[in-house]
Every structure is written in C-alpha cells, then in structure tokens.
Amino acid sequence: MSYSLLSSEQEPQFNSGAVRPFQAFSEGWQLIKGQYFLFVAMCLIIVVLVSCVPFTGIIYGAWMAGIYYALLGLTRGEPASFNAISKGFSHFSHAFVVAVLSGLPFVLIGIALKLMELRFDQIEKTYPTDTPLPDEVLTELITYVVVLVLAFAVFHLITGLIFGFAYQLVVERNLSGWQATKLSVRAANANLGGVLGLALMEIALGALGIVLCGVGLFFVMPLTKAAWTIAYRQVFPAPPPEQDQYSPLTPPPPPPPYFGAPSQR
C-alpha cells in the first residue's frame, strides 16, 4: 500500500510495512564495505569538528546530507568520494532545519550534563578524595547516570522515528527541511515496527561503540547510516531517471546544411 504527502502525483510516494531491520543492516554493509573507511573518515571528521571546534555544529546538517548523498549514490552504482560533502552543502538551509529540529531533545541532555557536573564539583568539595562517600550520595550519582543514559536512549529512539528519512528526502527529493520531516514521520508511522526495530539496533550498536572507549562509535556510524539508507529505499522507491533531452520516440533534428559542399554536375 502506498501513500503520498499530497494528492498530486508528483509528490513522493512511500510504501507501508516495507522496512526489514536485519535486511537493512545486511544490505547496508554490502553497500559500504568496498569504501567503508571513507565513510569512517567522513563520520570521524564531523564528530571531531562539532565536539572540538566552536560553532561548527552549524554545518552538521549539511555534512550529514553529504554522507547520505554519497550513500544514495552507491545504491545507484556511483562510487563515493568526499565531493559528496559539497553536494550536501547545496542543501545547507534545509539540512540545517532537520539538524536543529532533531537536536532539540538533546539540548535537555546537555543541560542535565552541566547540572550533573556542578553537582559532582559540589560533592568533590564536600567529600575530599580520602573521605568515603555516604551511601545516599552514591545512590544519587548512580541515579543521575542511569537517568541520563535512559533519557539519551529514549531521545535517540524518538528522533529515529521522526527524522529517520528526513536527510535522504532533502537530498534526493529536494524537499524543504520541514516538508522532509513531516513526510519522514508519516512514512515511519506506516512502517512503525521496522523503523522501531532499526532504531533499537542502532542504539545497541552505538552503545557498543561507546563502550569500546568511544572510538568504536566512529566504526559503527557508517553501518547505521547505510542501514537507514537501505530502509529509506525500501520505503521510498527510487525516482525515475531524468528524461534525456531527446525522447527515443523523437529523433534529434538534422544537422544544418553545409553550404561549402561542391555542387554536383
């Protein structure tokens, strides 16, 4: 069963009940394995920039759009390269909207981390290194950590359900950030079980990557992005290729006459 955003036939169509999480990860790996370390480098660069260089978060959306541009190119048999990142920047404003909307829940995580840091400083001043922490303080710290981890997982799950297909729609269908988000929500709702499973698998792999000293996250990200690309293609069929300048049914015009040819006798 297919749906469309509007009644117009030009609007993107999407399929219902089409997402297969395990198949998405399996085909995602097959998609990127030939250029896996290129995508590791792409993910590593943007995470390091956003984490270490002030105000570079503004380019996160465009960079993600570039990664998805490269991944969608692979589905068409086109080799990936860093030039795809520049293609993402051609969708800067729309990708920026997606990045801001999807990042809003994590602002709360950032505020909570800052408050927890202040609380840790207070505890450190109250209880020096050689002073054992009371049980109630230990319980408080553990509760803080558990709540933050659970909140991060829940927010990541929610953003996966809402924005799972948004960047791809911006890149491939040239939708605005808001249009892409609305259509992504509707498509995810029509594929709720599969999208939920895919998001949970992404959280599990991300947690495993973080446990491996955090470095493993950079090796997991390319696979999860590839899996979302395969899921996107399961839901949104590839658009028809652009027609050539001349239709096969319409032959090209004849060449202009050559007036310099010698006359026949």
Burial class (CB in 10 A: 0-12, 13-18, 19+), 106: middle
CB atoms within 10 A of CB 47: 16
Looking only at the bridges linking them, the beta strands covering 13-15 and 2-4 are antiparallel
Average pLDDT of the chain, as a whole number: 85
How many other C-beta atoms can be found within 10 angstroms of the C-beta atom of residue 102?
24
Q: Between 255 and 36, whose confidence is greater?
A: 36
Does position 151 have pLDDT exceeding 70, yes or no? Answer: yes
Diameter of the chain measured on Cα atoms: 115
Compute φ and ψ for 152, nearest 5 degrees: -65, -45
| pLDDT for position 34 | 94
**What single letter denotes the amino acid at residue 175?**
L
Q: Is the pLDDT reported for residue 7 higher than 50?
A: no
User: Nearest-CA neighbor of 94 among 64, 53, 67?
Assistant: 64
Per-residue pLDDT at 52: 86
Query: Residue range 242-248: average pLDDT?
Result: 44
Name the phi and psi angles at 10, rounded to 5.
-80, -15
Q: What share of the chain is helix, strand, coil (3-state, %, to 5)?
A: 70, 0, 30
Task: Please choose, from the candidates 71, 148, 79, the residue with its C-alpha nearest in 3D space to the C-alpha of residue 115.
Answer: 148
CA distance 255 to 265: 24
* The pLDDT of residue 208: 85
Residue 246's pLDDT band (cuts 50, 70, 90) = very low
The C-alpha atoms of residue 142 and residue 207 are separated, in whole angstroms, by 18
Between 218 and 192, name the one with better pLDDT. 192
pTM over 0.85: no
pLDDT band at residue 4 under the 50/70/90 scheme: very low
Spatial neighbors of 64 by CB under 8 A, at least 6 apart, are 46, 88, 95, 98, 99, 167
What's the one-letter identity of residue 78? E
- Rg of the chain in Å (alpha carbons): 25
Mean predicted confidence (pLDDT) in 210-239: 89
Q: At what angle do helices 192-211 and 177-190 cross, to 10 degrees?
A: 110
The whole-number pLDDT of residue 210 equals 80
Higher model confidence: residue 130 or residue 145?
145
What CA–CA distance (Å, rounded) separates 9 from 65? 25
Assigned token pair, 264: 């026949």
Q: What is the pLDDT of residue 8?
A: 46
- In the three-class reduction of DSSP (H, G, I as helix; E, B as strand; rest coil), residue 13 is classed as strand
Q: Determine the 3-state secondary structure of 127 from DSSP.
A: coil
- pLDDT score, position 56: 85
**7: helix, strand or coil:** coil
The token pair that represents 217 in the structure block: 């996250």
> What residue ranges do the domains of the chain occupy?
14-234
Q: If residue 14 lies in a helix (H) or strand (E), which one and from where to where?
A: strand 13-15
Give the type of residue at 30: Q
Q: Are 198 and 227 in contact (CB under 8 A)?
A: yes
User: Which residue matches tokens 């169509």?
Assistant: 13
Q: Is the pLDDT of residue 25 over 80?
A: yes
Model pLDDT for residues 60-101, shown as the tens digit of each residue:
999 999 999 999 999 999 999 999 999 999 999 999 999 999
